[in-house]
Amino acid sequence: MVLQFFSKLSLALLLLCLYYQPSLAQKAQNVVVSQVQQLEFSGSQNSVGIVHASKTARVGAAVDGRIAEFLVEEGDIVKAGQPLVKLQTAILEFQLLGAKAELALREAELEELVAGTTKEELAASLANLRAAEAARKFSDWNFTRIEKLFQDGQVVSETEFQQAQANKQRDEQLYQAAASTHQINIRGPRAELITQARARVSSQTAVLNSFEEQLRRHTITSPFNGYVTIKHSEQGQWVTKGEVVVQIIKLDEVDIVVNVTADHVTKLELGDQVRIDIPHGSDELVFGDVFAIVPEADSQSRTFPVKIRVSNEDGKSGPVLKAGMLAKVELPVGEPKKMLMAPKDAIVLNGNKRTMFVVDSKTKAVSEVAVELGVSNGELIEVTGGIQAGQLVVIRGNERLKPGQIVAIVGGQNSTDEQD
């Protein structure tokens, strides 16, 4: 009975092994490799620098006023142009409304002049002209009649004669006035009047723009994307023109400032790539470029400030690299020497541990080797530890590898020879 049980168990294990044997072969991880090279580069020197914001703005008030609203708090993220502080603007807003109404009036006057005389106005002036003409003709006829009677000695008093003469002169003047008015209506407004109206519109527009600019100056905005670090005032406080209200720093890029001695600063060039270690910072490899070399030494330390510009990333607590952090910098200022260089992509990060996966050329099994990092140059970085020149290291597909795992080389330096 026992023998029968073990016989069945052995058969089951055999079948299980046969079932999983093909799948084990299928688990070979596809990878891309590159070769560790021995090259000559300038050696590195470890220096300590301080992280600085790439921009710092102490934003002040453009006008005197009382703070109506403080819209941000220390630590807040802000965008360029975002309102930070608003000053009281009630009086300005009333003045702005009045300026807008005055501008509307001036624009309407200009539109009326540019539009010219309407059909209705022409018809009315023509009717007035015809009425004046009819009155003039009647006055002429009546004066002629009375004058003849007066000269013939008929019953017409001198007063009646004088009144008829006055009526004739009056109606003649009224006719001339109606004719002139009608001609003016036909011609339309004079060019000088339109020019004057346009000038009044321009003048009032300038007044309106002045009030709008004053209103804008009562809102303090952020000059760039960044973080609020200091509030120098609070709601309800009176601030004067030029007084600093809030400080903003830009951290999407940071500058690591390192003080370099005179004998080393001459070995640096703008654009040199530098590897950086940030204690308690990012677990990723951090690289920056020499951005500025200040050509004036500190009067006490006799060292020259060198700025290294680094792209920053956001983490759970905001920017990974924060202003004031200490940073270890590998400056390429040492004597030239031969060193082992590997692609940066070969480095696997696990906390403070740096490793690489080395491929055995015969078995295609990988082993994890701990390395120390040194100077960087383009896509290559100095490695020291249990590594040798000529070894193949995994540069793609190394994220989930485990020691002893079999890999299939699908690309990279010398990959064709290895596959053959």
CA separation for the pair 373, 382 (Å, rounded) = 6
Three-state DSSP class for residue 409: strand
Distances, alpha carbon 353 to alpha carbons 147, 153, 214, 360, in Å: 130, 139, 58, 22
Residues of the chain with CATH 2.40.420.20: 28-42+336-420
Q: Is the pTM here over 0.75, yes or no?
A: no
Q: Does domain 28-42+336-420 have CATH number 3.40.50.150?
A: no
From 117, 127, 125, 135, select the one nearest 180 (Cα to Cα): 125
> Do the Cβ atoms of 212 and 100 come closer than 8 Å?
no
- The span from the first CA to the last CA of the chain, in angstroms, equals 53
Alpha-carbon separation of residue 149 from 108, 146, 152, 159, 164 (angstroms) = 57, 5, 5, 13, 12
Distance between CA atoms of 332 and 267, rounded to whole angstroms? 8
pLDDT in tens, 155-204: 778 888 889 889 989 988 998 888 888 887 777 788 888 899 999 999 99
Q: What is the 8-class DSSP label of residue 406?
A: B
pLDDT by residue for the chain (420 residues), tens only, comes to: 444 544 554 555 544 444 444 444 446 888 899 888 888 777 777 889 999 999 999 999 999 999 999 999 999 999 999 999 999 999 999 999 999 999 999 999 999 888 888 888 888 888 888 898 888 899 899 888 888 888 877 777 888 888 988 998 998 899 888 888 888 777 778 888 889 999 999 999 999 999 999 999 999 999 999 999 999 999 999 999 999 999 999 999 999 999 998 888 988 989 988 888 877 655 677 889 999 999 999 888 889 999 999 998 887 888 888 999 998 888 888 777 788 888 888 888 877 788 889 998 888 888 888 888 888 877 888 888 888 888 899 988 888 888 888 988 888 765 444 443
Element (H, E) at 377: strand 366-377
Neighbours of 56 (CB within 10 A): 13
Sheet with 83-87: strands ordered across: 219-221, 83-87, 65-70, 238-239
**Boundaries of CATH 2.40.50.100 in the chain?**
56-87+217-248
Domain 56-87+217-248 has CATH 3.30.750.24: no
291-316 residue pLDDT tens: 999 999 988 888 999 999 999 888 78
